[in-house]
Structure 1
Amino acid sequence: MWMAWPEVLASYAKHYQTGAPMPKELLDKLRAAQRFNEGYRTTEYLAAAVLDQKWHQLGSKQMPSDVIAFEKQALKDAGLDFAPVPPRYRSTYFSHAMGGGYSAGYYSYLWAERLDADAGEWFKENGGLLRKNGDVFRQKVLSKGGTMDAVDMYRDFRGRDPVIEPLLERRGLN
């Protein structure tokens, strides 16, 4: 979350011989490269996550005999049937689709990134990387572990449900 914040970057992004800080132009290029093709990357991810969930939501007597047709319909229903951007992973990549024990958690990576981006906004709104902010984050999130529902823990920290806008900003999709 914090690796490219100026105060953190200054502590490690230095020339290996001279110790000079990373030039702003290079950092700008890195940030632009990070956002390159983000629409494609996000769409292919979402398509795979949708397929993952669709398989998981089937009852034991609902297993389709035609995997390709099932995929096409699931993607169409979600508005993700766009041939130039196929799913990152096809149905057969997820073991639960083939009778394994995978628990349909592929969406959780993006969900976690959403929480991360929104939590980063909290730090910005509250003065940045200050000890008192770290203490609040530790007290309300990090120290809780699995002692309470994760959504309740996040609401207690943030004062509301997570929003998508910081993630869209981070990915350059706003």
Structure 2
Amino acid sequence: MQKIKFPTTLWVGEDALQGLRDLPVKKVFIVTDPFMVQSGMISHVTENLDFAEVEIFSDIVPDPPTEVVAAGVSHLVESNADAIIAVGGGSAIDAGKAMLYFGNRVKANKDLMFIAVPTTSGTGSEVTNFSVITMLETGTKYPIVTDEIQPNIAILDTRLVMSVPPSITADTGMDVLVHLIES
């Protein structure tokens, strides 16, 4: 017999981000990549958080290195946030999960809400309890696997997925196809 536990609540649809307006939080720490900020796409998230103090950490790069995660943990702890919202592809979401994990070790805040907002398809990171970070010097990837980093909410807003460049859509679409073939 197999048992499947799926604790992440999915908010799905064109206006799914509007649900952020109902969050019981005062301070939000957003983890994302430079493209989301430079393109202005992060405003789809922040416009629904006008009731809260928001800090954006946008230093995320592909295969997030431990140094970036450590810098993010420092900012997260200083922000005293009630929630982390990771916006972007698998790297941003994995980095957010790692920041949650290590941030809880620096400053025990087990009640910190974690919300994943994917902008790409393929990784499924928004609904798993896995994170992968990279040791830059060696290129070694380290997994973090614990229910502690399982997102509370995953927001699948079609406007954000449609916002990425066509080449990223093609790459992540192929990733989805490969995962399907492998399974």
TM-score (structure 2 length as normaliser): 0.23
Q: Which has the larger radius of gyration?
A: 1
- In terms of fraction of residues, the more strand-rich structure is 2
- In terms of fraction of residues, the more helix-rich structure is 1
